A and B are shown apart, each in its own frame.
Chain A
Amino acid sequence: EVDVPDPALALEQGDVDVEAALDAIEDGEPHETLGSLVDEIEDSGRADYAGAIATFTGRVRAMEDEDDDYTTSLTFEKYDGVAEDRMAAIEADLESREGVEEVLVHHRVGRIEAGEDIVFVVVLAGHRGQAFRAVEDGIDQLKDEVPIFKKEITTDESFWVHERH
């Protein structure tokens, strides 16, 4: 017989800081999806000039090949403020190109499970060539310039990705 206190779980008043919880929710990032970003860019005031929307979605790849350890999740942390500034600079840089009307870049943080989406680049452009080029350059610049870090959790271990590449 196991001696279990009664009740097994008791919360004293004051254990839960409701104010802090609400602040955390308000400070949290909006939940964006590829769909919500495409919806947003379709509402652009420049939509009349756009014949193309191109998108890139980065997701958690579980396996590199069939012998690879299964990656169960990635955990991302970012330099708050500076990461947003640099993503905004990438958007502005791409939007200054001929034919590129609007660009949205969004990167999730925290723990993201295998198969889930991590990062989105969405481009509204006059023509498809401009859209494809801006999407590719956007994700490449993000990977080089935005202070975001990732820890990989596999079935066997966990490690910081920057130490393996």
Chain B
Amino acid sequence: MNVELRLFATFREVVGRKTVDREVPADATIETVLRDLESEYPDFEGAFVEDGAIPSQVNVLKNGRAVVHLEGLETPVEDGDAIAIFPPVAGG
């Protein structure tokens, strides 16, 4: 199945694009997706999963909802999900 990753700010600059389509296994979770991205881009090594959790300065949203309010790294991923990954917000 496929998911769409949306990256912002410094994370977008590492990848060079705003969105990336990724194929993930049928039983994938948020952790699968984050580790997959970490292994593809050396700049992301250790950035998204640290001591079994998502670091506090990293925001991960599944279809607009923060995964920390879902099941964290264990949040299941479904075909067509939009997964956003971004650094601390800095509007205003």
Contacts and interface: CB of A to CB of B under 8 A. Distances in A.
Interface of A: 58, 76-79, 81-82, 85, 107, 118-119, 139, 142-151, 160-163, 165
Contacts of B8: 77, 79, 147, 149
B84 A79 contact: yes
Given A149-B9, A160-B9, A160-B10, A76 B84 contact: no
A144 B89 contact: yes
Contact of B84 (A82, A142, A148): A82
10 contacts: A79-B84, A107-B91, A118-B92, A139-B92, A147-B61, A148-B92, A149-B86, A149-B87, A160-B87, A161-B90
A118 B84 CA distance: 24
Nearest to B12: A77
Nearest to A58: B92
| Prevailing SS type, chain A contact patch | mixed
B35 interface: no
B88 interface: yes
A79 B91 contact: no
B32 to A, nearest CB: 22
A76 B91 CA distance: 8
A7 B89 CA distance: 48
B52 interface: no
B59 interface: yes
Given A85-B64, A107-B92, A118-B92, A79 B9 contact: no
A119 B91 CA distance: 8
B61 A82 contact: yes
B9 A77 contact: yes
Residue of B9, B10, B12, B86 ringed by the most chain A CB atoms within 10 A: B9
Nearest to A78: B91
Nearest to B6: A79
Nearest to B89: A147
A148 B89 contact: yes
Contacts of A163: 10, 87
Contacts of A119: 91-92
Shortest beta-carbon contacts, A-B, top 5: A148-B91, A149-B9, A162-B88, A162-B90, A161-B90
B91 A142 contact: yes
Contacts of B59: 147
Contact of A149 (B6, B61, B64, B90): B90
Given A77-B9, A79-B8, A163-B10, A145 B84 contact: no
